[in-house]
Structure 1
Amino acid sequence: MTMPSANPNRALWEKGDFTRIADTMRESGEAFVETLDIRPGLAMLDLGCGDGTTALPAARRGAEVLGVDIAANLVAAGTARARAANLPNLRFQQGDACDLENIEDARFELLVSLFGAMFAPRPQDAAREMVRVVRSGGRIVMGNWIPGDPTMVAQILKISAAYTPPPPEGFISPITWGQEEHVISRFTAAGIPQADIGFERATWLFRNPGPPADLLDIFRNYYGPTMNAYAAAANEGREAALHAELLELFEAQNRGTNGNTEIAATFLKVSVAKA
């Protein structure tokens, strides 16, 4: 399935190489999957899967996993990782969280989306599609960055936004998915009772050998939002200011030892039960 080239999310996530970011958070992906009660044969959709940070560990535990992502390069990378890991129960395909065409109703027992579906440009459509493809008795589990949170990723997005042009009219910020009232509104509109929507705060770790500046370089060169911010800042002669602000953030939040970097980011874990 080919996504329209005009899709802004596709352009954003194909712009960099998110696999380089994903390499810094594999352990967090493993830890998150441990919380999901995966059993052999479980039908699972990983939506906005990237190259498989959560899809691979779920498949290793025996789930039948489909990974869907808007970016063709990440689908290819995930397919290569699944092949190298000899996981025939894991498949990747390109797709749009706002319109999961070619995926039938009630196909999955578990849908997971870690920092993926939150970036879909039409959040109400994404919520409706997530509910549609999950069967009765199934679950949706999302991880979403929280607006205004003082930890790393929310601050990266906040700082980057200050250096980029204003979004187009009608744009809905992805991090509204980190606000409980928006999550409730979207899922209740898709038919989920509010009592079946739960929330908790959780921690995601980014780890990289070397100093925080090295991790920042990975974000600068391979993460779409920061790539866009650096390009816009350079056009205005503000690149050095942006870099200094981000470097201060990375250094202040580093809790690594022995010259390595480990930075925690808080996210909102959303759990939805479909009756």
Structure 2
Amino acid sequence: MNSNKALWEKGDFTRIANTMRESGETLVQRLGITNGLKVLDLGCGDGTTALPAAKLGAEVLGVDIASNLVQAGNRRAREHGFVNCSFQEGDASDLHQLPDQAFDLVVSIFGAMFASNPFAVAKEQVRVTRPGGRIVMGNWIPNDPTLVAQILKISSSYMPPPPEGFVSPMTWGVESHVVERFAGAGIPAEKISFTRDTFTFKYPGAPSVFVDEFKKYYGPTMNAFEAAEKNGRAADLQKELEDLFNNQNTSLHAGSTLIPATFLRVTIAL
């Protein structure tokens, strides 16, 4: 099996996505989506940004590598009565099932950054976007002090070294890498803009309980705990993550968690 597919079919990312809904909707509301706009949500999960886009009247296709998340997305679309939103399996590195220039807007929020071939990801996003359309990516930033970058950094420190040739998904959070990848797809640097943005995780429980959600349901953290168990270091990993979540919790209410995480928002004008 594709290792990326295995990673995101592990656990149940919908449990984490539930804590990201409000920020997903806020982001989509800033994208200038109009009725009938054709939108591709790439690496869509179960629809954290796809469903808000459909709510604004867009014709939305969500594509994700994880079959369980595709099923969850289609289920959520039905539950909300969105006939203008559907989900299907696909790999952001190879969207052969999608025609050229089919979408007005391609969105990928913490999705395509995890695909295995970043140059192919850039080319495929450009290929399926019509001239005059836009691509918007949200990418976590390496070594950023906020939540997700630190979760991934801590988790990787408990893992064996990655295979030769592995390209970290976090390199999508480096502006020069983004420019280089889209240059390979024929997009000049002046067509690319960057801004720092924030997603806030909102969980109705204490930070230590939220850590357990990641431990049980978030593929990268699950893998880290499996590796840490083998080395007798699971307690160390647990403590590091609990310290991180407690220190970054901004909630004013005991027993609840509110943690902002910074990301790089990339906009490409075709």
When normalised by structure 2's length, the TM-score is 0.99
1:55 lines up with 2:83 in the alignment: no
Distance 1:258 1:98 in 2: 42
Q: SS where residue 164 of structure 1 aligns?
A: coil
Task: Report how far residue 79 of structure 1 moved.
Answer: 0.3
Equivalent position to 2:130, from 127, 135, 138: 135
Distance 2:8 2:191 in 1: 32
Q: State the AA in 2 paired with 1:219.
A: F
Percent of matched pairs sharing the same residue: 62
Task: Report how far residue 13 of structure 1 moved.
Answer: 0.3
The aligned residue for residue 172 of structure 1 is 167
Q: SS where residue 131 of structure 2 aligns?
A: strand
1:119 lines up with 2:114 in the alignment: yes
Task: Report how far residue 101 of structure 1 moved.
Answer: 1.2
The aligned residue for residue 197 of structure 1 is 192
Instruction: Trace 1:1-275 onto structure 2 (pairs within 5 A).
Output: 6-259=1-254, 260-274=256-270
Once the two structures are superposed, residues 229-266 of structure 1 have per-residue CA deviations (whole angstroms, 9 ceiling, x without a partner) of 00000011000000001100000000012121000100
Q: State the AA in 1 paired with 2:201.
A: F
Task: Report how far residue 104 of structure 1 moved.
Answer: 0.3
The aligned residue for residue 3 of structure 1 is none
Q: SS where residue 136 of structure 1 aligns?
A: strand
Distance 1:270 1:220 in 2: 29
Q: SS where residue 245 of structure 2 aligns?
A: helix
Q: State the AA in 2 paired with 1:164.
A: M
Distance 1:210 1:135 in 2: 44
Q: State the AA in 2 paired with 1:27.
A: E
Q: Which runs of 4+ in 1 moved over 3 A?
A: none
Distance 1:176 1:249 in 2: 22
When normalised by structure 1's length, the TM-score is 0.97
RMSD of aligned Cα (Å): 0.5
Q: SS where residue 169 of structure 1 aligns?
A: coil
Task: Report how far residue 106 of structure 1 moved.
Answer: 0.1
Distance 2:40 2:209 in 1: 33
Once the two structures are superposed, residues 128-170 of structure 1 have per-residue CA deviations (whole angstroms, 9 ceiling, x without a partner) of 0000000000000000000010000000000000001111000
Q: Aligned pair count?
A: 269
Q: State the AA in 2 paired with 1:261.
A: T
Q: State the AA in 2 paired with 1:167.
A: P
Q: SS where residue 93 of structure 2 aligns?
A: coil
Distance 2:144 2:36 in 1: 37
Distance 2:184 2:86 in 1: 30
Q: SS where residue 59 of structure 1 aligns?
A: helix
Once the two structures are superposed, residues 84-108 of structure 1 have per-residue CA deviations (whole angstroms, 9 ceiling, x without a partner) of 1000000100000000011000000
